[in-house]
């Protein structure tokens, strides 16, 4: 009897202390991020004396405007004593939002609710610097100086310069996102005393950082004397993209410049030894010297104009040209209505019983024809994509705008490549994020075109590139600019006359939908940054092979692609693209 009482007391105590909670939530890096950019939200879940199986939901809810809300879902399995981290990629709009977390069991019970109002995002014109070091060290923090540096209570500190502000955030390699879009708000990254070997820097994070550089990021590596990985190509994933001449010199001089080397839209280089010493001796002089030599990449510099561009709205209008009237259901309704009215008019002139019989049987028969699975489920797809081939890395970046409409109501789970970012515009959606796949349950009807934005990176092998190359049309060659002889890293812009000629010729030889999309890109200056980069590239139009379209559907649902217009940018002319 005593044993039963003791066991009952122990069970009661165990249930009393059992708890599952969100231990911490980190939005961006040190709560620093930009609006209209993808942002990483890291949530840490702790369980004490309770196991759990279910999912963690993050809902981004607009608090003011009547906009589509988006929910991100990740599965969660916790042991009785466990601590796990989940990283969500969310789109941070330029308006007030609320983050609502829900921990839901597999039975549907809500175990935890937490609401958070994130800090105000930084403007796109500001510069965000991320310092990565093995331990959080604020050796790069800025102090009061003639740039009006603000020493804030949080780790981010601001520097007003040329109408913009600089914010510095700190993190460790273990906290870095495994998807490149987690760095979407970062303009400049400094790696301080970080071992870049596979053991300390997993391949997923290596791939994410290289993808981020290709999309316009600037990376500076601080190489110390005891760090041998910088000279060993087999143990350092950055060395293949750095010329031998850029490796640290045995006896650096005070006049040595930071030499940045292009990789895709971005650039990377090594911090000279004298600047590394300057960080500890005079932080003010370090930042002054750094920003005198290093600027944003051309692509990131163009981002300051994004709030004034209206390319998304214009692209959406083109996608909506897939009208609901194209659906067979609408056509069937029109034909039935016409036949029904004529038949009822003729029968009404004869017997009343036949009139009543037909008025009931004909509509019921028509409804049965619609609901019975007599026809395969089919959707129409209209998409416009901007594809960028990074031949040296054998990678393809896709930014796709998809317009989807069903020929009748179709319920399906839309599948996307792993590490994709999905954004909806005119309907609420729930995106299920797992390490291997991205899916979105959706109801596609024939009444409205559903618009999605999909952004992802894909591996591009020779077979895929060969299939893509066969569909490429007329090309425009854009020559890069050579850096100044002084060693300064500012990209010298191409003359306005060259870009002006491109503007005049780009859409002249096109027609149909491609001409409309070309006019949008020229009018909104979406390609202007290509003329301010140092490397060469080729611009053309193509049709994406089915394997490269970033949308997959179940076997029971077929896709009818009504329009496929893809702009392709290939650079530089090395690696895979030598076959062109």
Per-domain residue ranges of the chain: 18-116, 127-304, 309-322+378-579
Peptide bond into 464 cis (omega under 30): no
Instruction: State the pTM of this model.
Output: 0.82
More reliable by pLDDT, 303 or 156? 303
For 434, list phi and psi in degrees, rounded to 5: -130, 165
pLDDT tier at 41, thresholds 50, 70, 90: very high
Dihedral angle at the C-alpha atoms of 331, 335, 337, 340, nearest 10 degrees?
A: -160
- % of the chain surpassing 70 pLDDT: 72
For 190, list phi and psi in degrees, rounded to 5: -115, 120
* pLDDT score of 348: 59
More reliable by pLDDT, 495 or 179? 179
More reliable by pLDDT, 118 or 334? 118
DSSP class of residue 154? S
Instruction: Look at residues 495, 452, 545, 531 and name the one whose alpha carbon lies nearest to residue 70.
Output: 452
The DSSP bridge partners found for residue 120 are none
More reliable by pLDDT, 368 or 500? 500
* pLDDT score of 106: 86
* pLDDT score of 48: 87
* pLDDT score of 160: 41
* pLDDT score of 486: 38
* pLDDT score of 558: 78
The DSSP bridge partners found for residue 463 are none
* pLDDT score of 141: 56
| 127-304 CATH, one of 3.30.365, 3.40.50, 1.10.10, 1.10.260 | 3.40.50
- Min mean pLDDT across 5-19, 97-111, 191-205, 368-382 is at 5-19
CB 259 within 8 A of CB 275: no
Mean per-residue pLDDT for 346-357?
60
* pLDDT score of 399: 94
- What DSSP line would sit under 86-146, residue for residue? EEEEEEE-SS-EEEEEEEEETTS-EEEEEEE-PPPPBPTTSEEEEEE-SS---TT---S-T
Domain 18-116, second-level architecture:
Sandwich (2.60)
* pLDDT score of 372: 53
Separation of alpha carbons 130 and 183, rounded Å = 9
Instruction: Look at residues 441, 423, 394, 409 and name the one whose alpha carbon lies nearest to residue 553.
Output: 441
Dihedral angle at the C-alpha atoms of 206, 212, 214, 218, nearest 10 degrees?
A: -100
- Min mean pLDDT across 141-145, 163-167, 234-238 is at 141-145
CB 180 within 8 A of CB 457: yes
CB 431 within 8 A of CB 421: no
Each residue's pLDDT tens digit, 157-175 = 444 444 578 898 989 888 8
Mean residue pLDDT across the chain: 77
> Which range is most confident: 24-38, 292-306, 545-559?
24-38
* pLDDT score of 352: 58
Mean per-residue pLDDT for 106-122?
89
Q: How far is CA 193 from CA 134, 156, 212, 215, in A?
A: 7, 20, 20, 24
Mean per-residue pLDDT for 430-455?
86
pLDDT tier at 233, thresholds 50, 70, 90: very low
Q: List strands edge to edge, sheet with 410-416.
A: 110-116, 97-105, 52-62, 70-78, 429-433, 438-444, 410-416
* pLDDT score of 161: 42
- Min mean pLDDT across 228-232, 410-414, 445-449 is at 228-232
CB 293 within 8 A of CB 489: yes
* pLDDT score of 76: 92
DSSP class of residue 51? -
């Amino acid at each position: 009897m005593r044993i039963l009482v003791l066991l009952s007391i122990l069970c009661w105590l165990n249930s009393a202390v059992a708890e599952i909670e969100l231990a911490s939530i980190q939005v961006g890096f040190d709560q620093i991020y930009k609006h209209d950019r993808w942002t990483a939200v890291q949530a840490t879940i702790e369980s004490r004396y309770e196991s759990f199986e279910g999912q963690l939901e993050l809902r981004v809810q607009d608090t003011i405007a009547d906009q589509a809300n988006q929910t991100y879902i990740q599965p969660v399995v916790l042991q009785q004593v466990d601590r796990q981290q989940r990283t969500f990629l969310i789109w941070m709009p330029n308006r007030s939002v609320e983050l609502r977390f829900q921990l839901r069991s597999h039975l549907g019970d809500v175990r935890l609710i937490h609401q958070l109002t994130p800090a105000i995002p930084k403007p796109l014109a500001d510069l965000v610097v991320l310092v990565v070091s093995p331990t959080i060290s604020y050796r790069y923090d800025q102090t009061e100086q003639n740039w009006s540096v603000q020493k804030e209570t949080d780790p981010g500190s601001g520097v007003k310069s040329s109408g913009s502000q600089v914010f510095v955030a700190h993190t460790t390699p273990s906290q870095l996102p495994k998807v490149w879009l987690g760095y979407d708000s970062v303009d400049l990254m400094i790696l301080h005393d970080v071992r870049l070997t596979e053991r300390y820097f997993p391949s997923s994070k290596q791939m994410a950082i290289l993808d981020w550089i290709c999309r316009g990021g600037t990376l500076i590596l601080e190489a110390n004397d005891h760090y041998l990985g910088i000279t060993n190509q087999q143990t350092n994933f950055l060395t293949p993209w750095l010329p031998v001449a850029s490796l640290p010199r045995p006896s650096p001089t005070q006049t040595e410049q930071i030499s940045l080397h292009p990789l895709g839209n971005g650039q990377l280089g090594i911090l000279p030894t004298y600047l590394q010493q300057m960080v500890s001796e005079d932080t003010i002089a370090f930042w002054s010297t750094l920003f005198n030599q290093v600027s944003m990449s051309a692509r990131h510099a163009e981002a300051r104009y994004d709030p004034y561009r209206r390319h998304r709205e214009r692209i959406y209008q083109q996608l909506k040209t897939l009208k609901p009237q194209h659906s067979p259901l609408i056509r069937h309704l029109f034909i039935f209505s016409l036949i029904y009215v004529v038949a009822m008019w003729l029968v009404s002139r004869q017997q009343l019983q036949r009139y009543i019989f037909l008025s009931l049987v004909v509509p019921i028969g028509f409804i049965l024809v619609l609901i019975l699975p007599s026809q395969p489920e089919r959707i129409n797809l209209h998409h416009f994509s901007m594809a960028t081939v990074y031949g040296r890395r054998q990678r393809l970046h896709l930014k796709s705008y998809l317009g989807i409409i069903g020929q009748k109501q179709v319920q399906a789970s839309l599948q996307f490549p792993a590490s994709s970012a999905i954004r909806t515009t005119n309907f609420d959606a729930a995106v299920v994020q797992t390490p291997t796949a991205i899916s979105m349950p959706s109801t596609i009807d024939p009444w409205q075109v559903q618009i999605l934005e999909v952004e992802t990176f894909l591996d591009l092998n020779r077979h895929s590139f060969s299939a893509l190359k066969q569909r490429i049309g007329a090309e425009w060659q854009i020559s890069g600019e050579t850096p100044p002889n002084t060693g300064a890293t500012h990209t010298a812009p191409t003359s306005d006359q060259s870009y002006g000629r491109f503007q005049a010729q780009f859409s002249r030889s096109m027609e149909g939908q491609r001409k409309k999309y070309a006019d949008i890109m020229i009018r909104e200056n979406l390609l202007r940054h290509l003329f301010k980069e140092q490397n060469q590239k080729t611009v053309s139009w193509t049709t994406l092979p089915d394997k490269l379209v970033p949308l997959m559907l179940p076997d029971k649902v077929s896709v009818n692609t009504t329009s496929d217009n893809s702009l392709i940018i290939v650079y530089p002319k090395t690696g895979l693209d030598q076959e062109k």
